[in-house]
Structure 1
Amino acid sequence: MSGSTGRPLGRRTFVLGASAAAGTAALAGPLAGTASAAGFGWSDDGSNYVVDTGASLVFKVSKTNGDLTSLVYKGTEYQGYGGKNSHVESGLGTSTVTIGQSGSTILISVTYGTLKHYYAARSGENNVYLWTNKADDSVSATRYIVRVKAGLFLNDEPDSYTYAPTTIEASDVFAKSDGQTRSKHYSKKRVIDYDYIGWTTGSVGLYVVRSNHEKASGGPFYRSLLRHQSADGGGLYEILYYGENQTESQRFGLQGPYVIAFTDGGAPSSSLYHANISTSWADSLGISGYVAASGRGRVAGVGISGRDTAYPYTVGLANSAAQYWGSARASDGYFSIPGVLPGTYTLTVFKDELAVYTSSVTVTAGATTTLNTIAIPSSNDPSNASAIWRIGNWTGSPSGFKNADLMTYAHPSDVRAASWTGNVVVGSGTETSAFPCYLWKDVNSGIIVYFKLTAAQAAAAHTLRIGVTTAYANGRPQVVVNDTWTSAVPSPPTQPSTRSLTVGSYRGNNYTFTYSVPASAWLTDTSAYNTLKIYVASGSGTTSFLSAGTAVDAIDLLA
């Protein structure tokens, strides 16, 4: 082991580095224990605490600022690029860094003001367990980035911009010579969609296994950067609060563990996944804010009625302190959400990404709160309303609209995107696939929907609904019917103020605009097409794809 004391490790041996022997490392309480495996232990090289897991991994943590300064797996250094280390946010300043060992666990504690961060190693494992306890907003974001040397993993996935020399937006969205776009933002995944992120060569895998995100913000459908590669190297992220396209305030407290895991090329062990991981070994380590399994409760529901079985349903729990979610069983809607901190939560049932039911539930430690069948009222799902015509379906996402899937991993200017302009004819069979998922003031404002009405329909007033999932620069739809009736400019709903549509995310606050269209607006000739022109109203934004815009969920004209 690098920097070892030269002292053999036995069942009752505690490896002391020079600083530890001098009393600068914390060796009190539960961490004043013993090591248990040959090769497992820690030392002090003067600048770093050096941890040998007794397997194939040796890592170093700076005694000055808590950076992870080295990750050596099977003799190869993986950590670092551009003179930068792996760390919380963009790196902490001077911190108090201590180390201790208890049996088969080594814990490094980093204190930076009110923030506390932890690294743990277990004997015989090629893993580093991490926790971060952010007490307030003195640190702007809650992010850990594992920086990886260039050339160790090949990648040209949607989140890679290694071969993308042209900057097309800000300093983080790039275009390749073939017109395809790349950015670290283009993860393609929601939080609910993944357990880990990383790379493999086939013989070596390096991953970050995410935490349960109980102290994160944004819920199960939040999208954020997960990894990137450039000419300098690669980055793997655990993002808890990034400040970009956030729909909720920050949550504070201890988050973790999330795990840096090395493998022999395969996926990380499923025992590390947030739904499966057991950290009973950490119960007595004294980690600030740590709550053991015995201090948590569970929420279970016997079923959900009133579902549209064509869509997945998710049950979420949220309050100002924590968030959780679980998938409802397709057959009957049964759900179970374990590991919940005690408290009262808003329970929300989502049809796909659209909230269709809310209630309140209280969780107590060591107990299961069992709920009877949740009945979703028919009126709670806007898809149940009788419509003369409908474009898309009410799901809380632009799924099915033109370019919708591509926009989670590409910029709107990408060569693979279909034209953002072009009008739509109701009854053509391509209403949804032809309608663009996003509308911008400077790109495709004024798109036209053509439709016919029967004499009875044209004789009555109707409600037009346009559902959106987010907006940029207060973009919102204003409509004109048959060039004779113009709606008022609606007030903008609350939406995130940062970029969204151009960085792979449509996830904001779902909102429905309603317009009461009088009978006098319709054409009386039943053979003629009525026209609905949808404009984007806003005085903010800049130009092109950074002009005011919005993402579409569904559009319908009610009967």
Structure 2
Amino acid sequence: MSETAHRPVGRRAFVLGTAAAAGTAALAGPLSGTARAAAFGWSDDGSNYVVDTGANLVFKVSKTNGDLTSLVYRGVEYQGYGGKNSHIESGLGTSTVTLTQSGSTILISVTYGTLRHYYAARSGENNIYLWTNKADSSVTATRFILRVKKGLFLNDEPDSYTYAPTTIEASDVFAKSDGQTRSKHYSRLRVKDYDHIGWTTGGVGLWIVRSNHEKASGGPFYRSLLRHQSADGGGLYEILYYGQNQTEAERFGLQGPYVIALTDGGAPSSALFPGTLTTPWADSLGLAGYVGASGRGRVAGVGITGRDTAHPYTVGLANSTAQYWGSARASDGYYSIPGVLPGTYTLTVHKDELAVYTTTVTVAAGATTTLNTIAIPSSNDPSNATAIWRVNDWTGTPAGFKNADLMTYAHPSDVRAAPWTGNVVIGSGTETSGFPCYLWKDVNSGITIYFRLTAAQAAAAHTLRIGVTTAYANGRPQVVVNDTWTSAIPSPPTQPSTRSLTNGSYRGNNHTFTYSVPASAWLTDPNAYNTLKINVVSGSGTTSYLSAGTAIDAIDLLA
């Protein structure tokens, strides 16, 4: 480093990196912009390390606590609102912050107790690469938040509450004057549905490209908050561990890279996306917990039979230290999951979001574990059971039920929601679309299904199944048949303890309740309608949409 680098400098007066490295840097990264190679370098302004990427991006990192204190793109400051910086969690406090330059890469390392956090810049790129290693539970670090100045990307999306001044739940769900609801929880997206999150004005785009989430929790269908915006400013998130409606224990270790990417209005380059991004340039940086491509393996399967081709299939890998997933090809079920850390994993095949097959697989560094064709037994998919009647298909989701799509980006009280009532008649053709996706003890408990049975069907006992995808406050279904037979109250399955149904997520632990209904419960007249009343029972919860509740997957009466 030049001895002059210790001088406080203005935004334009930067100490340069090595000329040779700067001259070739624009060729080295996955997203090289129009480089100002001579400007690539860093300086110390006394309080911050100041990095010029040699493109159009200049950023600062506090030498005291590792906060990102400035993010200037094409001369405009984007970082910060409410006097707050961008950082891990709500800020780490006094940390050890160091900077090193290796050729065309500048790395800033932040150490806070057992936590390690990193910012990397590449010459000629308008990107900041970040890694976070939470080694244990001694340090609270569950997110990185990029705080963005107010007024730059105003919008009225579901996860924005700029124009929603009325609080309707906790301190994070709001209502507009027209009755539409807004919350930072309302992202619509599962983890597998997005590669990046952010905003664009048409002339400038600001994004966080997510990591591969190998050390996150919840699997491919998990939903967490991704961004928020209000009149005070906006936030973009990389969630390292999110406790809302969480189904798995926290994993520890290095997560990343995730990328802060600035563009001239378009989406970030797909070269930065998880599953596409490669970082051989980071192999020698000394990141704690880093495992390069050569230390990873791949799982590939030649195909999956026994699939219902009307539905997508996802193959997931998970153990206590890592998680991965990939889509099965629609034509034959082929799948490939690269970049897997060595170890033994549970492999799960999902029909939509419903687990229909599991096995174990072992992965070795530098090798591909090839699996023969997986044959899903017919009995593993509940849709294959012969039913007298069925409401909705079994997918592990409430998709198809009334209000199901809306509930991933709105509160149940939203003016756009259809009434939460919904008695239905089997054979009407609207059994699924007319039945509400969620049932609550204090809102719509007691919804009834009407159906006829033939004399032969009414002469026999039958099994009733109700599938759920999550529950709030231990809400679970107790059924009453023809007001004469009442089931026992089932034990509550293991479900997340936090809010779910009101903050955009139906994803918990899929569970099937079964009820053995005796023949004596049925009406013997084949022209008469039997009634199945579904009550929600629990001693927990409060009132209205925070009373005990559950999300429905499917309901059927087996032959």
Q: TM-score range by the shorter chain?
A: over 0.9
1:285 lines up with 2:285 in the alignment: yes
Name the counterpart of 1:61: 61
How many Å separate the matches in 2 of 1:487 and 1:407? 29
Contact 1:475 1:537 (C-alpha < 8 Å) held by counterparts: yes
How many Å separate the matches in 1 of 2:21 and 2:124? 16
Residues 9 and 341 of structure 1, relative CA distance in 2, 3 Å threshold: closer
State the number of aligned residues.
539
Residues 6 and 81 of structure 1, relative CA distance in 2, 3 Å threshold: closer
| Structure 1, unpaired ranges of 5+ | 15-35
How many Å separate the matches in 1 of 2:348 and 2:395? 14
TM-score (norm 2): 0.95
Name the counterpart of 1:423: 423
Name the counterpart of 1:24: none
1:433 lines up with 2:430 in the alignment: no
Give the 5 Å matches for 1:472-511.
472-511=472-511
Contact 1:4 1:44 (C-alpha < 8 Å) held by counterparts: no
Name the counterpart of 1:270: 270
How many Å separate the matches in 1 of 2:493 and 2:422? 27
How many Å separate the matches in 1 of 2:14 and 2:69? 22
Contact 1:37 1:104 (C-alpha < 8 Å) held by counterparts: no
How many Å separate the matches in 1 of 2:328 and 2:14? 55
Give the 5 Å matches for 1:298-377.
298-377=298-377
Name the counterpart of 2:19: 11
For the residue of structure 1 that corresponds to 2:37, the secondary structure is coil
* 1:312-366 deviation line (CA, Å, top 9, x unaligned): 0000000000000000000000000000000000000000000000000000000
How many Å separate the matches in 2 of 1:403 and 1:289? 44
Residues 7 and 164 of structure 1, relative CA distance in 2, 3 Å threshold: closer
* 1:368-396 deviation line (CA, Å, top 9, x unaligned): 00000000000000000000000011100
Percent identical across equivalent pairs? Answer: 85
For the residue of structure 2 that corresponds to 1:237, the secondary structure is strand
Name the counterpart of 1:442: 442
Name the counterpart of 1:246: 246
Residues 494 and 130 of structure 1, relative CA distance in 2, 3 Å threshold: same
How many Å separate the matches in 1 of 2:141 and 2:127? 25
For the residue of structure 2 that corresponds to 1:465, the secondary structure is strand
Give the 5 Å matches for 1:452-463.
452-463=452-463
For the residue of structure 1 that corresponds to 2:407, the secondary structure is helix
- 1:254 deviates by 0.2
Residues 251 and 9 of structure 1, relative CA distance in 2, 3 Å threshold: closer
* 1:373-431 deviation line (CA, Å, top 9, x unaligned): 00000000000000000001110000000000000000000000000013111110000
Matched letter for residue 19 of structure 2 = R
How many Å separate the matches in 2 of 1:86 and 1:320? 30
Contact 2:212 2:275 (C-alpha < 8 Å) held by counterparts: yes
For the residue of structure 1 that corresponds to 2:432, the secondary structure is helix
Matched letter for residue 41 of structure 1 = G
Name the counterpart of 1:166: 166
How many Å separate the matches in 2 of 1:157 and 1:49? 35
Contact 1:302 1:373 (C-alpha < 8 Å) held by counterparts: yes
Give the 5 Å matches for 1:20-39.
37-39=37-39
Matched letter for residue 538 of structure 1 = S
How many Å separate the matches in 1 of 2:95 and 2:556? 57
Matched letter for residue 538 of structure 2 = S
How many Å separate the matches in 2 of 1:140 and 1:324? 24
Give the 5 Å matches for 1:47-86.
47-86=47-86
How many Å separate the matches in 1 of 2:58 and 2:240? 27
Matched letter for residue 11 of structure 1 = A
Name the counterpart of 2:207: 207
* 1:31-78 deviation line (CA, Å, top 9, x unaligned): xxxxx9310111111111111000000000111111101000000000
* 1:105-140 deviation line (CA, Å, top 9, x unaligned): 000001111111000000000000000000112234
How many Å separate the matches in 1 of 2:163 and 2:517? 51
For the residue of structure 2 that corresponds to 1:224, the secondary structure is coil
How many Å separate the matches in 1 of 2:481 and 2:98? 68
TM-score (norm 1): 0.95
| Structure 2, unpaired ranges of 5+ | 1-8, 23-35
How many Å separate the matches in 2 of 1:193 and 1:115? 29
Segments of 4+ in structure 1 off by > 3 A? 1-10
Contact 2:297 2:342 (C-alpha < 8 Å) held by counterparts: yes
- 1:3 deviates by 5.6
Matched letter for residue 516 of structure 1 = S
How many Å separate the matches in 1 of 2:16 and 2:101? 16
Contact 1:167 1:173 (C-alpha < 8 Å) held by counterparts: yes
Name the counterpart of 1:512: 512
Matched letter for residue 535 of structure 2 = Y
